[in-house]
């Protein structure tokens, strides 16, 4: 059950997040444990509060709600990839315990299992008939003229996606996967594909997966169930009974891979903040300046930076008659608002509470 004081504080922070005033928005930060969460100005579904950082996406119910769990947590794929299931669940429990009293056991409501691989096989050439599945929906995807993957049963209780993960990373910028790929032998040249199954609560209950411990002990079993009972890549033959078709060698290799043979990296290696990458800052972030330099026919970078700053100051000075703020004030506000989004700000309420405890301790010495 959510603590009453936490409920009231989250309600206040949500209102700050809904404000158009930057000085209010930058206060929408909630600290739980050693996490500085961004508090969103909107809820999700029946959960009124949403807290986000690079590790967790939390949907929190009100203290008066009896029909919902106190908290619904989605763990980031980066944390699970780098730290493993057990460490990630331990971190989740620490955060949730700081929000209120955990009365019911932690249950698993959704699982996404995936495996990344290289292959010389032309996946686009696989005929639809080679896929033997319980699903009635199938979709292929292309990026321009390049095949990017296919999916089965999207939106159902169990679904599968096979897609070009290398291509997806070029768009998502989730380059943290490059390091474990390299450690596994990737040379940075070949395409990496991902096979991913998603199983929802109803299927997990049938498989008797209730808790994170159940999940940890049965990862391989779930994986093999999905790849044998729900979907198979086969070698079609003349037998009218598809269940007797042989599995494709690639499918056998992926199905029989062991899940616990690779050591996981320590938890602290994964940043809790959602700061932009150097590529985003120093490549994509230079777009405005290079556009300005092209407009002004400037080629020297130092001259371009100086001219850009000067013109920016003049522009904001002109606008200040309407907005009552110049360039410096504008930049400061933007920095604060983005610092909240990137989980770089502290919760003043939390900081003051910690300071008060410290002062009381000092006075009691």
- Distance separating alpha carbons of residues 259 and 67, to the nearest angstrom: 36
Per-residue pLDDT of the chain (365 residues; tens, 9 = 90+): 899 999 999 999 999 999 988 888 888 999 887 889 999 999 999 999 999 999 999 999 998 888 889 999 999 999 998 888 999 999 999 999 999 988 778 899 999 999 999 999 999 999 999 999 999 899 999 998 899 999 999 999 999 999 999 999 998 888 889 999 998 899 999 999 999 999 999 999 999 999 999 999 999 999 999 999 999 999 999 888 988 999 999 999 999 988 765 545 544 466 778 777 777 788 888 889 999 999 999 999 999 999 999 998 998 888 887 877 888 888 888 888 888 778 777 766 655 655 555 455 555 55
CA distances from 232 to 194, 235, 362 (A): 15, 10, 66
User: Given phi > 0 = left and psi -120 to 50 = alpha, else beta, which region is 122?
Assistant: beta
- Give me the count of residues in the chain: 365
Buried b (16+ CB within 10 A) or exposed e, 39-68: bbeeeeeebbbbbbbbbbbbbbbbbebeee
What pTM was computed for the model?
A: 0.78
All structural domains of the chain with their residue ranges: 105-263, 278-341
Could you read off the pLDDT of 160-177 as tens digits, one per residue?
999 999 999 998 888 889
> How deeply is 117 buried, as exposed, middle or buried, from its count of CB atoms within 10 A (0-12, 13-18, 19+)?
middle
β-strands 246-247, 29-32 pairing: unpaired
């Amino acid at each position: 059950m959510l603590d009453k004081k936490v409920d009231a504080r989250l309600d206040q922070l949500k209102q700050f997040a809904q404000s158009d005033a930057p000085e209010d928005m930058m206060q929408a930060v909630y600290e739980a444990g050693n996490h500085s969460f961004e508090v969103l100005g909107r809820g999700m579904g029946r959960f009124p509060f949403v807290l986000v950082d690079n590790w967790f996406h939390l949907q929190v119910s009100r203290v008066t709600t009896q029909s919902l769990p106190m908290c619904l947590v989605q763990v980031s794929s980066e944390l699970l990839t780098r730290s493993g299931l057990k460490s990630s669940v331990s971190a989740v429990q620490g955060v949730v315990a700081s929000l209120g009293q955990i009365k019911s056991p932690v249950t698993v409501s959704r699982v996404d299992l995936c495996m990344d691989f290289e292959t010389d096989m032309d996946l686009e050439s696989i005929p639809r008939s080679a896929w033997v599945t319980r699903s009635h929906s199938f979709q292929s995807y292309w990026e321009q003229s390049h095949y990017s993957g296919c999916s089965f049963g999207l939106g159902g209780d169990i679904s599968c996606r096979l897609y070009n993960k290398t291509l997806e990373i070029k768009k998502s910028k989730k380059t943290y996967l490059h390091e474990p790929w390299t450690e596994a032998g990737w040379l940075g040249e070949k395409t990496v594909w991902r096979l991913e199954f998603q199983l929802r609560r109803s299927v997990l209950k049938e498989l008797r997966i209730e808790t994170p411990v159940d999940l940890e002990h049965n990862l391989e079993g779930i994986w093999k169930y999905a790849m044998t009972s729900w979907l198979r890549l086969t070698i079609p033959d003349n037998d009218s009974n598809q269940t007797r078709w042989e599995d494709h060698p690639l499918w056998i290799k992926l199905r029989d891979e062991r899940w616990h043979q690779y050591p996981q990296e320590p938890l602290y290696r994964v940043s809790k903040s959602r700061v932009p990458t150097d590529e985003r800052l120093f490549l994509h972030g230079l777009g405005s300046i290079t556009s300005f330099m092209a407009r002004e026919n400037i080629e020297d970078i130092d001259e371009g930076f100086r001219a850009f700053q000067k013109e920016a100051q003049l522009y904001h000075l002109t606008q200040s008659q309407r907005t009552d703020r110049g360039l410096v004030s504008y930049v400061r506000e933007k920095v604060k608002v983005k610092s909240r989004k990137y989980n770089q700000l502290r919760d003043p309420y939390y900081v003051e509470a910690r300071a008060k405890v410290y002062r009381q301790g000092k006075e009691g010495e």
